[in-house]
Chain A
Amino acid sequence: MWSWVFHRITGVAIFFFLLVHILDTALVRVSPEAYNAVIGTYKNPIMGLGEVALVAAIGLHALNGIRIILIDFWAWGTRHQKLLQWIVIILWIVLLVGFVPRHLINVFSE
């Protein structure tokens, strides 16, 4: 039940981010100055934390999505859905341990 709730919330959040992200990237068609001004805001510390939240949301949605797919198409997956749930949580933590320190060092360096 909670994985369903999180899957929905992260799905909606990522969708809205994607709408904004296509618009900001489209500024490369306007001018280098316009693009650099907007992408510059992605580098400040508050946005840096936002990017951590974004990657956490995408990671959870992606891993949980794979779990849903394995349960749908694979009888073994359906029988062991509890185990798959734990694998999702563990892989998600591994993903964040790999990403968060690296990203925060980039954001807070210099």
Chain B
Amino acid sequence: MTTSIESPRAARTVRRGGVNWEKWGWIYMRVSGVALVVLIFGHLFVNLMIGDGVKALDFAFVGGKLSNPFWQVWDTLMLWLALIHGANGMRTITNDYAHNRLVGVVVKGAILAATVVLIILGTLVVYTFDPCPAGAPTDLLPTFCTGG
């Protein structure tokens, strides 16, 4: 099962100093990938497997989770790591298929914009969230809101 690959395998690129961003991107995909396995499967397990699964999801359920610092940190890590991992992967794919320079710049600009907006939005939601909004019907709220 030996495969031989003619050398040179690919054109050699000569780098002139500076930070090797592609290398760090490559490392980031792997490090964040390992962390995401734990974060995402934990997330899916708690939300879809425990109790009544998807049927149990509602405002009160999320209110209970996001008023716990443990889940706040969990969700923040998952948000940042997954979005940046996904966006960087989408960048690689764009580089592979967009042969027109302008198309590539537009697509990558859109990916970057969506990623920045959603990271900011998601982080604000996690830390400014009020599980007991005033005036909301109490039967929709977590039980701790009504002193239960």
Contacts and interface: CB of A to CB of B under 8 A. Distances in A.
Contacts of A106: 48, 52-55
A14 B2 CA distance: 36
Contacts of A65: 33, 37
Interface in A58-101: 58, 62, 65-66, 68-69, 72-73, 99
Chain B interface main SS type: helix
Contact of B125 (A14, A25, A32, A73): A25
Interface residues of B, number: 42
Interface in B47-66: 48-49, 52-55, 57-60, 62-63, 66
A39 B48 CA distance: 13
A31 B30 contact: no
Given A32-B59, A69-B30, A102-B53, 14 more contacts: A18-B83, A26-B121, A29-B129, A32-B60, A32-B140, A33-B136, A43-B54, A51-B48, A55-B44, A62-B41, A66-B37, A68-B30, A69-B34, A102-B49
